[in-house]
Amino acid sequence: MNFLKLPKEDFGIKLTLFLIIIAYLFSLSMRYIWVSEVKNTQQFYWHNELMINTNDGYYYAEGARDILKGHHEPNDLSPITEPIALLTAWLSKIIPVSFETLILYMPSFIGSLIVIPILLIGRTIGQTGIGFIAALIASVTHSYYNRTMIGYYDTDMLTIVLPLFSLYFILLAITHQRNRLLLPITAAFALAQWWYPQSYSLNTAILVVTLIYAVIFERKNHYFYKIALFIIIGVLSLPIWLKLTIALGVFSFFHFLPKLDQKWFWSLFTAILIIYFTTGGIDPIWAQLKGYLFRESVSNEAGGLHFYNVAQTVREAGHIPFNVFAERISGHPITFLIACVGYAFAVIAYRPLLITLPLVGLGFIAMSAGLRFTIYAVAPMAIGFAYFLMLITKPIEKSWLKYTALLVFMGAALYPNYLHIKEYMTPTVFTAQEISTLDQLGKISGREDYVITWWDYGYPIRYYCDVKTLVDGGKHSGDVNYPASYILTQPQQNAADMARLSVEYTERGYATSSSNEIIATMLKAYKADSIDDLMVNVQLNPASLPKPTRDVYLYLPLRMMEILPTVTLFSSLDLKNPDNHPQEPFFYMTQQVKDTGKTLELGNGISILKEKSILKLGKQEVPIKGFYQVGYNKAQKLDITEQHFSSEGLNVIFMASYGRFLVMDDFYFNSSYIQMFVFDHYDPKLFEPIILDPMSKVYKLKV
């Protein structure tokens, strides 16, 4: 296999540093394209700064904000101990920019650090040029760019960078085989796991591959088992300071007592391995596998009740087609296939690169586990593509011709990624108009008050209003999603009662460590067999509702309309008999309307026969029960006109100010969301309107 070998490149430290700077600046410049494209969109600005474009970012921003304030409310779920929040708060104290500017640009400046370990890996195997090409490609490939672009304030900014440093230090140790190179391995693994605890599975996989490598290829080389030992220490489910202390102690043993090394090594190895299994072992890995590879539509949770599994509705956790899979890893299917061949050649030629297999494997399970995993395979595939380029240009003797060919091929690989960046104009999480509503709500509400809405909006609400929420992007198991879904989709009396019950029982649950078992707790407290029974019991005896301990607000944004059927799923099931599927209610929304004179074509085989006042759903004809036109007049007051045609059938709503047609059955028509957002209809005994903005409306609970 000598033909797969490449001549070693003798790049000095200064030239390597220069290439790192070039690759880093290239990565940054590509990320500034988003800013240049959206800078004139005023709805993306708040307080004269562009807002971030990922929901989860507001979670970490809340933690950093509270760290800087020096306090937060009990049970407000503020992530004040999260590494990213701690790092942000620290940077905020030393970098002279506003907090909003810092969280906006942090992902690009920190995420672009990926070029450093990739280039250093290339240098370690004597191929700095490969490292440079791979660094350029990996830094802008679809999935990595998407999750480290400007505004994508999330843990992803270091989730790949730190494991790549771990691999670099392993390769460095394999290459030079010095004891002093063992400590950085533990430090890198410990830091990666501290930053992103979910990397436990990846780190364990790297450990297993390293051990297999040692047994197969370096069985008699004692140093390889030392590498594995220091990986294990870094992976242990222990505080980072304790892992580093153990690593320093083991290193001192090797360094100062070399004669005892061989005699006591395996006893020490066994002891550390026992600690690994007693502090976690493979249990966390199995839990993650079950969550992503063996997803079920319902999950069995507290009290033997069955709830809808949120993983079924998350696009990142769904199956993806091959083209999307390939583009997210390498930018284009052709580039991806070349990268796969190049990676195989590189591993054959430079066997230690086998330790990167866990990254490849984790990236490749994205085909079944969801597109979020593609990010892990980006760097190894970029190295594979760069290796293939160097291999095919190896026979070219003239330097200028060789570098020209490399430039052309590299440009061809980068171009699809550049096009993706130009087109990937992801919006900010909320618009300025929506944030204005939250800003007003934050001035009205108290820190102990609750805002009830769907979990997608939990983090931004907590950040801008400084309140509590029932559900958010991290707290959205079936048990807590059920009441949120119920409140939004049930009539107002049921919604109001459930709102008070869920808030008060959530707060009680924090005291008894059962805040994720509120449905089972409520059913038990009211001696009810079902939610319907619970509502009947409460409404027959209103005094049985918990005494209010705080204010509760209902937040109803226009954007929720797009996911209303998904929201409904979480409360439209039999909690005790998951196989008993109730009939799915009907809801359809469109802005693509064509008036043919006799019909209004609403798309997807749905049309309105004007003369007959009938809806045509494919071949089926259904009477229109009522037609409603709703819109804002010049004074921004809501005008409603309605016509009634039949005692049964479907309801049609034309939201004139939004250019939307809604078709729905009585279930949705009578829901709190439709009545209170679309029509501004509310029961004054139950709710009080606080903010009635066309983009989002807020009501205060009165029970």
Q: What is the pLDDT of residues 396-454, one digit of tens each?
A: 888 889 889 999 999 999 999 999 999 999 999 999 999 999 999 999 999 999 999 99
Asked if 394 and 6 count as a contact pair (C-beta separation under 8 A), the reply is: yes
DSSP assigned state of 674: I
Rounded mean pLDDT, 93-101: 96
What pLDDT, on the 0 to 100 scale, is given for residue 12?
87
Please report, for residues 146, 487, 565, the alpha-carbon distance to residue 313 in angstroms, rounded to integers and kept in the order given: 20, 19, 11
Residue 479, Cβ density class (10 Å: 0-12 exposed, 13-18 middle, ≥19 buried): buried
Which region among 17-31, 38-52, 283-297 has the lowest average model confidence (pLDDT)? 283-297
Q: How far apart are CA 506 and CA 519, in angstroms?
A: 10
pLDDT > 70 fraction of the chain, expressed in percent and rounded: 94
Residue 354: strand, helix, or coil: helix
What pLDDT, on the 0 to 100 scale, is given for residue 98?
95
Encode pLDDT of 572-611 as tens digits. Answer: 888 888 777 778 899 999 998 999 988 999 999 999 998 8
pLDDT band at 636 (very low <50, low <70, confident <90, very high): confident
Place of tokens 């801008």: 464
Question: Is the four-CA dihedral 572, 574, 579, 580 of positive or negative sign?
Answer: negative
Q: How far apart are CA 700 and CA 703, in angstroms?
A: 9
What pLDDT, on the 0 to 100 scale, is given for residue 266?
85
Cα-flanking dihedrals φ and ψ of residue 414, to 5°? -80, -30
- Cβ neighbours for 551, distance < 8 A, ≥ 6 positions apart: 445, 446, 449, 450, 700, 701
Q: How far apart are CA 251 and CA 423, in angstroms?
A: 51
Q: How far apart are CA 99 and CA 88, in angstroms?
A: 9
What pLDDT, on the 0 to 100 scale, is given for residue 4?
80
Q: How far apart are CA 568 and CA 2, in angstroms?
A: 62
Residue 156 predicted with pLDDT over 70: yes
Choose among 144, 682, 199, 212: nearest CA to 372. 144
Asked if 353 and 345 count as a contact pair (C-beta separation under 8 A), the reply is: no
Residue 234, Cβ density class (10 Å: 0-12 exposed, 13-18 middle, ≥19 buried): buried
Encode pLDDT of 374-410 as tens digits. Answer: 999 999 999 999 999 999 998 888 888 988 999 999 9
Both tokens assigned to 216? 């197969």
Residue 279 predicted with pLDDT over 80: yes
Q: How far apart are CA 384 and CA 344, in angstroms?
A: 7
Residue 678: strand, helix, or coil: helix
Asked if 385 and 338 count as a contact pair (C-beta separation under 8 A), the reply is: yes
Residue 378, Cβ density class (10 Å: 0-12 exposed, 13-18 middle, ≥19 buried): buried
- DSSP per residue over 559-596, as a string? GGGGGHHHHHHTTSS-SS-TT--PPPP-EEEES--EE-
* Backbone Cα Rg of the chain: 29
Opening angle at CA 423, ends 418 and 428, nearest 5: 120
Asked if 201 and 285 count as a contact pair (C-beta separation under 8 A), the reply is: yes
Per-residue burial over 302-326, b if 16 or more Cβ lie within 10 Å, else e, is beebbbbbbbebeeebeebeeebbb
Residue 9 predicted with pLDDT over 70: yes
Residue 317 predicted with pLDDT over 70: no
Fold of 432-569: Pyruvate Kinase; Chain: A, domain 1 (3.40.1380)
Alpha helix (H) residue ranges in 424-477: 432-444, 458-465
Both tokens assigned to 650? 């479907």
What pLDDT, on the 0 to 100 scale, is given for residue 292?
54
Cα-flanking dihedrals φ and ψ of residue 46, to 5°? -140, 125
Asked if 188 and 166 count as a contact pair (C-beta separation under 8 A), the reply is: yes
What pLDDT, on the 0 to 100 scale, is given for residue 265?
84
Encode pLDDT of 326-352 as tens digits. Answer: 999 999 999 999 999 999 999 999 999
Provide the mean pLDDT of the chain.
91
Asked if 319 and 368 count as a contact pair (C-beta separation under 8 A), the reply is: yes
Residue 658 predicted with pLDDT over 60: yes
- DSSP per residue over 117-165, as a string? HHHHHHHHTT-HHHHHHHHHHHHHSHHHHHTTSTT--STHHHHTHHHHH
pLDDT band at 287 (very low <50, low <70, confident <90, very high): low
Residue 295 predicted with pLDDT over 70: no
Place of tokens 């204005």: 436
Widest CA span of the chain, in angstroms? 97
Cα-flanking dihedrals φ and ψ of residue 149, to 5°? -70, 165
Which region among 306-310, 517-521, 569-573 has the lowest average model confidence (pLDDT)? 306-310
What pLDDT, on the 0 to 100 scale, is given for residue 575?
86
What pLDDT, on the 0 to 100 scale, is given for residue 316?
53
Return the C-alpha torsion angle 589, 594, 595, 599, nearest 10.
-60
What pLDDT, on the 0 to 100 scale, is given for residue 312?
59
Q: How far apart are CA 303 and CA 478, in angstroms?
A: 12
Residue 315 predicted with pLDDT over 60: no
Q: Map out the domains of the chain as residue ranges.
A: 154-423, 432-569, 587-664
Q: How far apart are CA 393 and CA 305, in angstroms?
A: 63
Asked if 306 and 298 count as a contact pair (C-beta separation under 8 A), the reply is: yes
What pLDDT, on the 0 to 100 scale, is given for residue 261?
65
Please report, for residues 286, 331, 428, the alpha-carbon distance to residue 98 in angstroms, rounded to integers and kept in the order given: 42, 34, 18
Q: What pTM does this model have?
A: 0.91
Question: Is the four-CA dihedral 274, 276, 279, 284 of positive or negative sign?
Answer: negative
Element (H, E) at 446: none
Residue 194 predicted with pLDDT over 90: yes
- Cβ neighbours for 212, distance < 8 A, ≥ 6 positions apart: none
